[in-house]
């Protein structure tokens, strides 16, 4: 397994066999142990420092990386005062690639539990079943550091020349990566001249080919609160005279969203889809077809002996893809001011509060959207109610740079070698704040943004799983793309 092959020619079959063996014998166990630790992101665990769980998963990963004894690898855990820690590793280049750097990224913080898990599953109780490792964070994104190092090991095993490689693993991504920029500023002299970024925190259109993420939506989030009373009062005594805080909330949200269609009303929250992305969307829609909307767990019920399913906003594959990647969309992800159904008496509630998550198209600046959102929601409140929007900040989306010929060839070669199909190109509706930062900081770098979050993997929700067979092939594909980086400046 550790014998070095004195050849610069990368052997895909050997790499996949070796990577698969590492997954089966080691990586699967490491990620299983990781899932069992409820290392929630700071936005969901304000006492993260006291809990020590983010430190635990970071130390565990660091210990494992060091135990691999990868030739030329050095590692350290870096801490800035008051901020979540990061793991930084560096692998020295072979001589031919001495002026270039590959940056590998992942994160170890997690989303909260959420409800609706299968009876035999749970967010912190990992279970391996039919090639799927269930549990919170395995696919988003705990596997990334382990897969990244396994890809490097595949290069080392074959003696394949490779560039300098650095790894940056954070613990604040699910909170918007607000701690990351200070680390990037501090580490910038050590990052070098980045020619290729590999981010394993994204998704896949299916499990049948390699998928490159071409765009990511941004996000603006915060809490919208409507207050009309100082305390709850008898609904029979007050309703009709005292306006409902919920009705006022509906009026305020009507300024933002057409409730009949879901379209966001401010023109500034929209942008044109670039022609290249539209062409890629059409090609991807032809591959995935109705799976673009059938992949979701639609509610269903019996209607006269026939099963009726809830419907998507569109069944046109191209429009379905664009709706979740280039269209601004509002979601209410939490609420306060409501008693439980069991404890709901005849009381007019004093306030209603909603947690808002606004997904922004890749080319819309988040800071401007947050400012406009606050003004739109707070100004001229109905009935002079107290309406406040407390922002949780925003993250601008990302549109990939032009694809260099060598990179496109490498992606297709890796996809054909490990999946037997060409690489697919797909936009994703989620947000990875780091990507916009890196594109700005390294405008010449190629961006290999990919991941294991394929159909029904359900990141952030119940029954999240890591598709292990896909992860094995993706790990080998990453190694092959690194081996394909030209020795000259990319």
Q: What is the CATH number of the domain that holds 403?
A: 3.40.630.10
In a domain, 369, yes or no: yes
Choose one of 338, 361, 395: the last residue of a domain. Answer: 395
Q: Which of 93, 68, 200 is nearest to 139 (CA)?
A: 200
C-alpha–C-alpha distance, residues 68 and 75, integer Å: 12
pLDDT at 25: 98
Neighbours of 250 (CB within 10 A): 14
pLDDT value, residue 304: 83
DSSP string over 472-490: HHHHHHHHHHHHHS-SS--
Please tell me the distance from the alpha carbon of residue 305 to that of residue 128, in angstroms, as a whole number: 36
- In terms of domains, do 416 and 401 share one? yes
Q: Are residues 311 and 364 in the same domain?
A: yes
- Give burial (CB, 10 Å; 0-12/13-18/19+) of 21: middle
| Contact indicator for 468, 132 with CB cutoff of 8 Å | yes
Is the bond leading into 141 cis (omega within 30 degrees of zero)? yes
Task: Find tokens 């270039």 and name the residue.
Answer: 100
Q: At 383, give phi and psi (nearest 5°).
A: 60, 20
Q: Examine the domain organization and report whether 189 and 235 are in the same domain.
A: no
Residue 269 lies in a domain: yes
Q: How far apart are CA 373 and CA 105, in angstroms?
A: 31
Residue 305's pLDDT band (cuts 50, 70, 90): confident
With respect to residue 490, please indicate whether it lies within any of the assigned structural domains.
no
Task: Please state, for a pLDDT cut of 90, what percent of the chain lies above it.
Answer: 91
Does residue 479 fall inside a structural domain?
Answer: yes
Give residue 59's pLDDT: 98
Q: Give the tokens for residue 152.
A: 């490097």
Ranking 19-23, 299-303, 354-358 by mean pLDDT, the lowest is: 299-303
What are the residues facing 128 on neighbouring strands? 133
Are both 194 and 294 inside the same structural domain? no
Q: Does 340 fall in a domain?
A: yes
366 and 224 fall within a common domain? yes
Residue 57 neighbours by CB distance under 10 Å: 24
Residue 8 — very low, low, confident or very high, per pLDDT cuts 50/70/90?
low
pLDDT above 70 (res 231): yes
Q: Average pLDDT, stretch 98-127?
A: 95
Question: Residue range 229-246: average pLDDT?
Answer: 97
Q: Is the pLDDT of residue 3 over 60?
A: no
pLDDT at 21: 98
Average pLDDT, the chain: 95
Query: Which of 360, 395, 430 delimits the end of a domain?
Result: 395
Cβ atoms < 10 Å from Cβ of 185? 12
How many CA atoms within 13 Å lie on the side-chain side of 389?
Answer: 24
Is residue 3 domain-resident? no
One domain, residues 88 and 196: yes
Q: Quick one: 458 and 358 in the same domain?
A: no
38 is a domain residue: yes
Q: Are residues 234 and 376 in the same domain?
A: yes
Span 314-334, average pLDDT:
97
Dump strand ranges (E) for 260-372. 300-303, 306-309, 329-336, 347-348, 351-360
The mean pLDDT of 354-363, rounded to a whole number, is: 97
The percentage of the chain sitting over the pLDDT mark of 70, rounded to a whole number, equals: 97
- The pLDDT of residue 99 is 80
Predicted pLDDT at 467: 98
Could you tell me if 383 and 287 lie in one domain?
A: yes
Same domain, 280 and 411: no
- Residue span of the structural domain in which 92 resides: 12-216+397-484
Kindly state whether residues 256 and 280 are assigned to the same domain. Answer: yes
Are 225 and 373 in contact by the 8 Å Cβ rule? The answer is: no
Query: pTM for this structure?
Result: 0.90
Last residue of a domain, one of 352, 372, 395: 395
CATH of the domain at 229: 3.30.70.360
Task: Give burial (CB, 10 Å; 0-12/13-18/19+) of 116.
Answer: exposed
In sequence order, what are the residues at sequence separation of 6 or more whose Cβ sits closer than 8 angstroms to the Cβ of residue 241? none
**Statement: residue 253 has pLDDT above 90:** yes
- Give the HSE-up count for residue 388: Cα atoms under 13 Å, Cβ half-sphere: 9
The C-alpha atoms of residue 143 and residue 129 are separated, in whole angstroms, by: 17
pLDDT at 97: 66
Q: What is the pLDDT of residues 401-416, one digit of tens each?
A: 999 999 999 999 999 9
Contacts of 383 (CB under 8 A, 6+ apart): 228, 243, 248
pLDDT value of position 434: 84
Q: Does residue 380 belong to any structural domain of this protein?
A: yes
pLDDT at residue 47, rounded to an integer: 97
Q: How many domains does the chain have?
A: 2
User: Is residue 379 domain-shared with residue 414, that is, in the same domain?
Assistant: no
Q: 281-315 b/e with 16+ CB inside 10 Å = b?
A: beebbebbeeebbebeeeeeeeeeeeeeeeebeee
pLDDT at 5 over 70: no
Buried b (16+ CB within 10 A) or exposed e, 29-43: ebbbebbebbbbbbb
pLDDT category, 393, cuts 50, 70, 90?
A: confident
């Amino acid at each position: 397994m550790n014998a070095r092959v004195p050849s610069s020619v990368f052997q895909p079959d050997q790499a996949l066999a070796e990577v698969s063996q590492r997954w089966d014998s080691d990586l699967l166990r490491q990620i299983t142990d990781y899932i069992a630790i409820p290392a929630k992101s700071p936005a969901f665990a304000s006492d993260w420092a006291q809990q020590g769980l983010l430190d635990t998963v970071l130390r565990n990963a660091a210990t494992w990386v060091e135990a691999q004894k990868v030739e030329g690898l050095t590692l350290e855990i870096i801490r800035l005062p008051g901020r979540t820690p990061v793991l930084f590793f560096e692998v020295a280049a072979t001589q031919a690639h001495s002026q270039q750097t590959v940056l590998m990224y992942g994160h170890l913080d997690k989303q909260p539990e959420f409800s609706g898990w299968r009876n035999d599953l749970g967010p912190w109780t990992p279970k391996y079943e039919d090639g799927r490792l269930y549990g919170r964070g395995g696919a988003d994104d705990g596997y990334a550091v382990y897969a990244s190092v396994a890809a490097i090991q595949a290069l080392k095993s074959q003696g394949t020349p490779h560039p300098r490689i650095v790894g940056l693993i954070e613990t604040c991504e699910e909170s918007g990566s607000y701690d990351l920029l200070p680390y990037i500023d501090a580490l910038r002299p050590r990052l070098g001249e980045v020619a290729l970024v590999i981010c394993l925190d994204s998704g896949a259109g299916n499990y049948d080919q390699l998928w490159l993420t071409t765009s990511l939506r941004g996000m603006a989030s915060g809490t919208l609160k409507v207050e009309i009373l100082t305390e709850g009062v008898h609904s029979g005594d007050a309703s009709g005279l005292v306006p409902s805080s919920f009705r006022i909330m509906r009026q305020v949200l009507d300024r933002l969203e057409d409730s009949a269609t879901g379209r966001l009303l401010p023109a500034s929250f929209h942008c044109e889809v670039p022609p290249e992305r539209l062409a890629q969307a059409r090609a991807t829609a032809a591959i995935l077809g109705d799976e673009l909307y059938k992949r979701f767990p639609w509610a269903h019920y019996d209607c006269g002996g026939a099963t009726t399913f809830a419907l998507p906003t569109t069944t046109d594959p191209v429009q379905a893809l664009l709706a979740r990647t280039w269209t601004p969309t509002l979601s209410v992800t939490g609420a306060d001011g409501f008693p439980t159904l069991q404890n709901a008496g005849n009381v007019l509630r004093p306030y209603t509060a909603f947690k808002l998550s606004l997904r922004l198209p890749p080319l819309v600046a988040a800071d401007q959207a947050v400012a406009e959102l606050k003004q739109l929601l707070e100004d001229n409140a109905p009935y002079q109610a107290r309406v406040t929007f407390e922002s949780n900040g925003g993250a601008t989306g990302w549109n990939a740079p032009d694809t260099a010929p060598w990179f496109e060839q490498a992606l297709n070669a890796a996809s054909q070698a490990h999946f037997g199909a060409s690489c697919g190109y797909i936009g994703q509706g989620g947000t990875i704040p780091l990507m916009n930062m890196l594109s700005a900081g390294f405008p010449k770098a190629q961006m290999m943004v990919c991941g294991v979050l394929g159909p029904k993997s359900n990141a952030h929700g119940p029954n999240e799983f890591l598709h292990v067979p896909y992860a094995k092939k993706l790990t080998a594909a990453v190694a092959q793309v690194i081996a394909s980086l030209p020795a000259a400046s990319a």
